Amino acid sequence: VDDRVTIHVRAGGAAQDYTVWIETEAAERLPTLVRRFAPAHRFAVISDANVAELYGSSIVDRFSGAATLHVFGAGEASKSRTTWIRLTDELLDAGHGRDSTIVALGGGVTGDLAGFVAATYMRGVPVVQVPTTTLAMVDAAVGGKTGVNAVVGKNLVGAFHPPSAVVVDPAFTKTLAPTVRAEGAVEALKHGAIADATYFRAVATHAGAIRSGDIGATRDMVVTSVRIKAKVVSEDERESGLRAVLNFGHTIGHAIERVDGYAGSHGRAVALGMVLEARVGELLGRTAPGTSDELRDALDRLRIPLSARLDAGALIEAMRSDKKGRRSEPRFVLLDRIGEVRSGDGWTHSVPNDIVARAIETGF
Ligand SMILES: NC(=O)c1ccc[n+]([C@@H]2O[C@H](COP(=O)([O-])OP(=O)(O)OC[C@H]3O[C@@H](n4cnc5c(N)ncnc54)[C@H](O)[C@@H]3O)[C@@H](O)[C@H]2O)c1
Ligand SMILES: [Zn+2]
């Protein structure tokens, strides 16, 4: 299939800018694409055990002897300094030097971890991100944030390390469970909600196809989401302002994840967070009435379970103390309506606790 689309991302100077290459079956000529954007003598492919089992050897074989495969246990718990030590030692043992390129083949965990290995190995070697989950394709692989978790919180040790390229093959999603595809698409709905109402409605319309792994529908979604995320991060690579709009749904969403001890899915937490944050905006009279219902309908189509018993007090406490227990003022992205956030008075806002509590108590 020749359906390739390339999207340019600005990352602080021409030398750091990169291309997101989206093409069905791109994985079949991955070595050509990787060499084109990050030419190297040798390549280190980093994957978790699930992805390595499904795709590792066929991908490494295509590099005809120039690549080594480095595998870690699947799951968020592996996004740690312990795994970083093991992987960097393995790369040293395998003789990789400054002239090697790292290929991050996997979901968001692999992208963050392998990206951080690349950011630090020999003071930084190139990385090509090859996302294999819906979430990583529409969100995590683009933006240049890499890192690992610490005991007290997620993503606390990391670096900005823009990839040399992101190569997206939507066909990787064939082997994902429908629920996992749908949870990734929640971030796509978020992109629509903050930037493009037509896109928001398109994701809702194609929710069934996206869940069931339709490659065309998935590819169209990835193209538009990457365009939106690329535009936002290109305008604001260091999260000084505009980039904060990507946190829509995440202020309450992250609190839900923390209160759950990170046992639940990120996509579902963000789904609940988007509905509730839209409700906050409605209660303040800033967000058009009906916006939270529109979000709920779209999420229903993805079959994200939205009924939840939420403890407003615990969530507000989780929002008000940061990962190290310091007090902080939670900031909210408030939509004007689906597809629109205005910045007249800043991209984020602080909101009185009683409004947040009311939104959570009456949200579901
Ligand atoms: N850097 C960023 O900007 C950014 C943005 C969003 C999320 N993230 C991070 O992304 C992580 C979550 O990413 P995720 O949801 O992709 O998790 P993940 O990488 O753990 O992947 C989820 C599961 O799917 C499996 N898997 C991956 N690809 C597969 C495939 N094609 N077929 C079958 N199984 C496959 C994995 O082995 C894993 O078990 C979090 O750590 C989060 O902090 C980072
Ligand atoms: Zn998210």
Contact 358, 272 (CB under 8 A): no
| Ligand 1 contact, 108 CB (< 6 A) | yes
- CA of 37 from ligand 1 middle (Å) equals 23
Segment holding 47, helix H or strand E:
strand 42-48
Quick check: CB of 251 below 6 Å from ligand 1?
no
In this structure, are residues 146 and 159 in contact, taking their beta carbons and an 8 Å threshold?
yes
Shortest CA distance to 190 belongs to which of 264, 279, 273? 273
Q: What is the DSSP string of 83-100?
A: HHHHHHHHHHHTT--TTE
Vertex 311 angle, CA 308 and 317, to 5°:
135
For residues 279 and 235, what is the distance between their CA atoms, to the nearest angstrom? 28
Tokens at 68, concatenated: 């080594």
pTM: 0.96
Taking the CA of 188 as reference, the closest ligand is 2
Which residue of the set 187, 237, 277, 294 is catalytic? 187
Query: With a 6 A CB cut-off, is 142 part of the ligand 1 pocket?
Result: no
User: How far is ligand 1, taken at its centre, from the CA of residue 250, in Å?
Assistant: 17
Q: What is the pLDDT of residues 53-97, one digit of tens each?
A: 999 999 999 999 999 999 999 999 999 999 999 999 999 999 999
Are residues 173 and 133 in contact, defined by beta-carbon separation less than 8 angstroms? yes
Nearest CA to ligand 1 atom 3: 140
In angstroms, rounded to a whole number, what is the distance separating the alpha carbons of residues 188 and 181? Answer: 11
In this structure, the strands spanning 145-150 and 153-160 are antiparallel
Average pLDDT, the chain: 95
Q: Which of 28, 76, 239, 340 is catalytic?
A: 239
Q: Indicate whether residue 292 lines ligand 1 (CB < 6 A).
A: no
216-253 per-position pLDDT tens digit:
999 999 999 999 999 999 887 555 688 999 999 999 99
